[in-house]
């Protein structure tokens, strides 16, 4: 199999009824992209609705973000990402669901994203998710009908962090609670500190500070 990893991005651009914009959190795609490419992997991008996905957390002074956005391959893909149902998962050793608050609206219970996770995981690949990216695991099932997260330890943006950013009543649900309801054991760390949890070939991280650790743990899992 060629060394390729897929990063999935939200297409949701509106933060509830706040009038604020949202999207995928740029650092949660750019940092893993750097880790993956330095480890010798080719990285492709996909978004829920295709096209040019909205982004959040952009810092013009961040050199890594600039390298990501100006990379020829990345820029071409961001201009017109494919949709998940167009992807042949057999081409990928791993899939990472990047976060950003937009994921809370279009990642959960999404059959196309669930297929990416299920097929990669059941073929022996690695599934990763960071911050709100684990929203893609909400409702995702394996071929036997069980939830992918059932019986596994996970990290995700915590209830306390959601409260700290003032969005507990804006998001459609609390991510940690929903994952727990589907059989996961949520392992929180202190607010906004790095937390990465590895459960076999499922790698999850709590917040933006966890993006590098998630990517590094995914690379390590692929090497096993």
Q: Summarize pLDDT for 23-32 with one digit per residue, the tens.
A: 999 999 999 9
d(CA 92, CA 43): 9
**SS3 of residue 210 by DSSP:** helix
Q: Where are the alpha helices (DSSP H) in the chain?
A: 26-38, 63-70, 72-79, 103-106, 111-122, 159-164, 175-181, 211-223
139: closest CA among 103, 101, 168? 103
Neighbours of 62 (CB within 10 A): 16
Do 120 and 126 contact (CB within 8 A), yes or no?
yes
Q: Summarize pLDDT for 106-117 with one digit per residue, the tens.
A: 999 999 999 999
Q: Which two tokens stand for residue 38?
A: 């330095």
d(CA 178, CA 59): 31
Average pLDDT, the chain: 97
Place of tokens 């036997």: 144
Note the pLDDT of residue 105: 98
Q: Summarize pLDDT for 187-207 with one digit per residue, the tens.
A: 999 999 999 999 999 999 999
Q: Summarize pLDDT for 60-104 with one digit per residue, the tens.
A: 999 999 999 999 999 999 999 999 999 999 999 999 999 999 999
> Which residues form the catalytic set?
131-132, 162
d(CA 204, CA 192): 15
């Amino acid at each position: 199999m060629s060394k390729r990893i897929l990063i999935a991005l939200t297409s949701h651009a509106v933060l509830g009824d706040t009038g604020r914009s949202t999207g995928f959190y740029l650092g949660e795609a750019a940092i893993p992209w750097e880790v993956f490419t330095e480890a010798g992997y080719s990285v492709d991008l996909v978004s829920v609705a295709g096209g040019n996905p909205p982004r959040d957390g952009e810092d013009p002074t961040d050199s890594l973000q600039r390298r990501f956005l100006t990379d020829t391959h990345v820029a071409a893909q961001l201009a017109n990402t494919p949709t998940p149902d167009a992807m042949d998962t057999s081409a990928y050793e791993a899939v990472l669901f990047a976060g950003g608050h937009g994921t809370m609206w279009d990642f959960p219970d999404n059959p196309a994203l669930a297929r990416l996770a299920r097929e990669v995981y059941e073929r022996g690949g690695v599934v990763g998710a960071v911050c709100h990216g684990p929203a893609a695991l909400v409702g995702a099932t394996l071929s036997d009908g069980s939830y992918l997260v059932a019986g596994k330890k996970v990290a995700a943006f915590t209830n306390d962090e959601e409260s700290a950013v003032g969005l507990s009543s804006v998001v459609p649900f609390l991510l940690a609670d929903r994952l727990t309801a589907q059989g996961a054991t949520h392992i929180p760390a202190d607010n906004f500190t790095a937390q990465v949890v590895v459960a076999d070939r499922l790698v999850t991280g709590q917040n933006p500070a966890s993006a590098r650790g998630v990517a590094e743990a995914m690379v390590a899992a692929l090497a096993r």
